[in-house]
Chains A and B, each alone.
Chain A
Amino acid sequence: MLKHIIIAATIFILIFGAFSVQAEKSTEMFIPIGQSPGLSGEYTVMGKIDQVNARDQSIKMSGPSGSYTVRMTKHTLIYLDRSKTQLPNSYGTLADCKAGDMAEVKFVDNARSKPIEWIKVQKAK
């Protein structure tokens, strides 16, 4: 019985992989930068985009804690925060990330050594 359960559980995880932490990504898009509950100010990093490197999918940012480069993956979500201009937020692409834009990034598993799960780019105009 015990052996069966362990085997079944292992198969279940391998096949279905439902055991990961996941916050709701769809409403996250509408939360302005710096206001994500439980994340902003604790686990995310905010700063100004200095450089976007499309070739290696990375963004160089600078903020109060200095300069840092964050890595993106094909799963990274890019949110465009237009709430300052009272326009609806939307998904964006790397091309929407411009030097000078304010941005907030959340790392996968909140670990700064990992790529970013999402980036919010503030569009002030």
Chain B
Amino acid sequence: MKPIVVLICGLLLLVGCHTPAPPPTPDPDAELIEKGRQIFFNETFDGNGRTCGTCHPAENNFAIDPAFIASLPDDDPLFVAEFNPALKENFENPRLMREFGLITENLDGFDDLANKFTLRGVPHTLGLRFTIDSSLGPRTGWSGDGSPGDGSLRSFATGAVIQHFTKTLNRVAGVDFRLPTNAELDALEAFQFSLGRQQELTLPLPLKGTVANRGQAIFNDLTLGKCSACHFNAGANFNPNIPFPVTGNLNFNTGVEDLPDQPQDLTGELVPPDDGFGIPGDGTFNTPALIEAADTGPFFHNNAIETIEGSVAFYNGDAFNNSPAGQLIQQATGSGINLDGTQVVEVAAFLRVINALENIRQSIELLEPVARKSHQTVEQGLQLLDLAGRETEDSIMVLSAGGLHPEAVQHLKEALRLTRKAKRSIFSKSHLARQAIEQQQKARAELVETS
């Protein structure tokens, strides 16, 4: 009997020790963001079963790629064209979706579905606060004209429901889907703006790695890499230090469509050229941020290139240097972009390291509520730990695949082990989450000088 009493007392003490910390200052938008999260992942808008999260899953950086697609069951709504007879023809190309992660879009109109379409990858939705605004209005989607209505991120969901959620190709509002209400659009916008980083980087960073540091220097050198002209601070905005008639997030024709051996073109499937912005298109596409790039490939609007090294090397090729954007660079600087093999790898190493730093930041942000015990429910705690684990997996992958910072990778592997253990633990979640945060911080200290 005595051991039982001791056990009960011990448990009561443990419970007492687990008194939740006072919640942080409430975010005035928290309720709206949470409502947006629920809509984003659960609302089908009376359509074919897809949600926003179907193509933008949180566990895969809010994007999909062939590897993630291969992990889905055959009855996942992503594959609705494979099991819904009304959507069997001219809604998606299942082969190209599974092999290359390409989604069908009818940006130039719905009047000839068999022949008039584009096939595009799914962009992530991280850091949207800094990747949409230009001095001429919002730029959404791969070609900057992805939203109906006023063209804003808030309106984006309306167009997405019409394009991707419909039960039939008639696309009749009220029959094949319902359109999002204004309140739903407000919530979805707030949720999407809450995703990922909430501030821009300020380059140069005091990076510790020799290769990544050289890559950063090349990236920022307007006479060598010239990357920072369009990707200021490795973001999505044009360099404000270069006099240009417009500012912010801009469109350019970089010649991606002129690449000679695009994977999807080699299949023999019909892949019409993508004319980009406008109807008819002017061939331009929107500038994406690079901070989140290394773990969200394949790259470019048509998923043409699989690796971050390949995407940097693209700017050395004829497709870019003969493109309008390449010509602009040549006219402005007297030469095109011509990096050698080591320089390509160095720029890619820089992009890998800043991506890993962002993964670490996100992992810590996800672990902190568990460490502080400020999450609302057990389920929410598990979800935070799951996402923290996935971010950590990404940082390990991004660094390892580039042969970068093995010491940091060891810390990240330990952080991952602790995060997974925290997920399984009943009583030590908070303690293990704190330990995982410490390992993340040690990994970060291997990558960048910390003050």
Contacts and interface: CB of A to CB of B under 8 A. Distances in A.
Contacts of A11: 328, 331
Contact of B251 (A7, A18, A27, A28): A18
B449 interface: no
B227 to A, nearest CB: 16
Task: Categorize the interface residue count of chain A.
Answer: 35 or more
A26 B108 contact: yes
Given A26-B108, A39-B150, A86 B162 contact: no
B159 interface: yes
B109 interface: yes
Given A26-B108, A29-B110, A86-B175, A13 B155 contact: no
Given A37-B148, A88-B170, A24 B107 contact: yes
B282 A21 contact: no
Interface stretch (B139-147, B210-218, B313-321, B430-438): B139-147
B151 A21 contact: yes
Contacts of A18: 250-253, 277, 282, 284
A37 B184 CA distance: 11
Given A5-B242, A21-B136, A30 B149 contact: no
A22 B148 contact: no
Given A19-B246, A31-B162, A39-B150, A24 B182 contact: no
B111 A23 contact: no
A88 B279 contact: no
A31 B332 contact: no
Interface string B170-192: 11111100011010010000000
Given A24-B145, A26-B109, A39-B150, A4 B172 contact: no
A4 B334 contact: yes
Contacts of B283: 16
Contacts of A89: 171-172
Given A4-B331, A23-B155, A37 B278 contact: no
Nearest to B155: A37
A6 B243 CA distance: 7
Contacts of A12: 324, 328
B238 to A, nearest CB: 10
Contacts of B109: 25-26, 29, 91
Interface in B325-345: 328, 331-334
B419 interface: no
Given A1-B333, A16-B324, A27 B246 contact: no
A66 interface: no
A22 B110 contact: no
B172 A83 contact: yes
A13 B243 CA distance: 14
Nearest to A11: B331
Given A38-B154, A83-B172, A22 B277 contact: yes
Contact of B332 (A4, A24, A39, A43): A4
Interface of A is mostly: loop
Nearest to B252: A18
Given A83-B172, A87-B172, A27 B331 contact: no
Interface in A35-92: 35-40, 43, 82-83, 86-91
A105 to B, nearest CB: 14
B440 interface: no
Contacts of A1: 332-333
Given A5-B243, A21-B151, A27 B277 contact: no
Contacts of B106: 26
Given A7-B331, A9-B244, A28-B149, A86 B252 contact: no
B277 A37 contact: no
A23 B162 CA distance: 15
Contacts of B206: none
B253 A22 contact: no
Among B163, B172, B179, B284, residue most surrounded by chain A Cβ atoms (within 10 Å): B172
Given A23-B147, A36-B150, 11 more contacts: A4-B331, A10-B245, A12-B328, A15-B324, A16-B282, A17-B282, A21-B138, A22-B278, A23-B155, A27-B162, A31-B148
30 contacts: A1-B332, A4-B332, A8-B331, A9-B243, A11-B328, A15-B324, A18-B251, A18-B253, A20-B136, A21-B136, A22-B145, A23-B148, A24-B146, A26-B107, A26-B108, A27-B158, A28-B148, A30-B110, A30-B172, A31-B149, A32-B174, A35-B173, A36-B148, A37-B150, A37-B152, A39-B150, A83-B174, A87-B170, A87-B172, A91-B109
